[in-house]
Amino acid sequence: MAARDMTREAALSRLDHKHACHILLYADSQAKLFGKIPVKHIVLMQMRFDGLLGFPGGLVKPSEESLEAGLSRELQEELGASVPVTMDDYVSSHLAQSPPRLILHFYSKKIKEAELLEIERAAVLNAVDHGLEVLGLTRVPLYTLRNGGGLPWFLSHSFISNSRAQLLEALRRLDLMSPQALEEAVKKAEEMRH
């Protein structure tokens, strides 16, 4: 476990801490960019009100709701869709660098491509936070074009808290990209930032 990671149990025993839950929703896809580059998987993130990229989700109140119920409530607000989240979808808990006393719980959940498309529509049509706390959903490009377009440029944007690390860790763990392709994209992104 990395330095600020903690177990779910240890996290929930911190009664004086705030808790937030966010989720990576993804689906397999047969779609091809320009009719030839396989998209392979659709991974959802969002452009937040503050101009930073992050995952859907938000603050939960463990004294009033389970982490999963709180996350589902946030998803209803931010995506305008009912996405049932269970303990099976739980990934990790992490003590935020800042602000102090904030614990970040992370989840991931695979859904069907049709469900994901439905969520994208609902996010515009139904979500009470659309255009307010959430400026829009975005997909994460998982390919790298010859000029560095795709994941390297995506990773060059600014991300909230540790959501960039959450994304990279999930892409590796869920095998959504080969370790080698991921490593190359991260390296390219690093070069682009200079």
Does the footprint of ligand GTP cover residue 113 (CB under 6 A)? no
Span of 57-65, 82-90, 116-124, 186-194 interacting with ligand GTP by CB under 6 A: 57-65
Q: Name the residues that contact Mn ion, by CB under 5 A.
A: 58-59, 74
Select from 5-13, 27-35, 50-58, 168-176 the region that touches ligand GTP (CB under 6 A). Answer: 50-58
For residues 107 and 91, give the distance between their C-alpha atoms in angstroms, rounded to a whole number.
5
Q: Are the CB atoms for 177 and 171 separated by under 8 Å? A: yes
* Chosen from Mn ion, ligand GTP, none, partner binding at 54 (C-beta under 5 to 8 Å by type): ligand GTP
Minimal distance in Å, beta carbon 67 to ligand GTP? 13
The two three-digit tokens of residue 1, written as one number: 């476990």
- Exactly one of 19, 22, 41, 109 binds ligand GTP (CB under 6 A); that residue is 22
Q: For residues 81-116, b (16+ Cβ closer than 10 Å) or e, as one string? A: bebebeeebbbbbbbbeeeeebbbbbbbbebeeeeb
57 contacts ligand GTP (rule: CB under 6 A): yes
Instruction: Identify the sign of the CA torsion 88, 24, 173, 21.
Output: negative
Q: Say how far apart CA 192 and CA 194 lie, in whole Å.
A: 5
Residue 2 CB, shortest distance to ligand GTP, in Å, is: 13
Least gap, CB of 34 to Mn ion (angstroms): 8
Instruction: Supply the minimum distance, in Å, between the C-beta of residue 34 and ligand GTP.
Output: 30
**Contact criterion met (CB below 8 Å) for 138 and 120:** no
25, 26, 43, 54: which one contacts ligand GTP (CB under 6 A)? Answer: 54
DSSP conformation letters of 42-68 = EEEEEEETTS-EE-SEEEE-TTTS-HH
Among 42, 44, 58, 177, binds ligand GTP (CB under 6 A): 58
**DSSP conformation class of 150:** B
Q: Kindly tell me which residue out of 72, 108, 144, 161 binds ligand GTP, with binding defined by CB under 6 A.
A: 161
Q: Which residues in this chain contact ligand GTP in the complex, by CB under 6 A? A: 20, 22, 54-55, 57-59, 74, 96, 104, 133, 160-163, 166
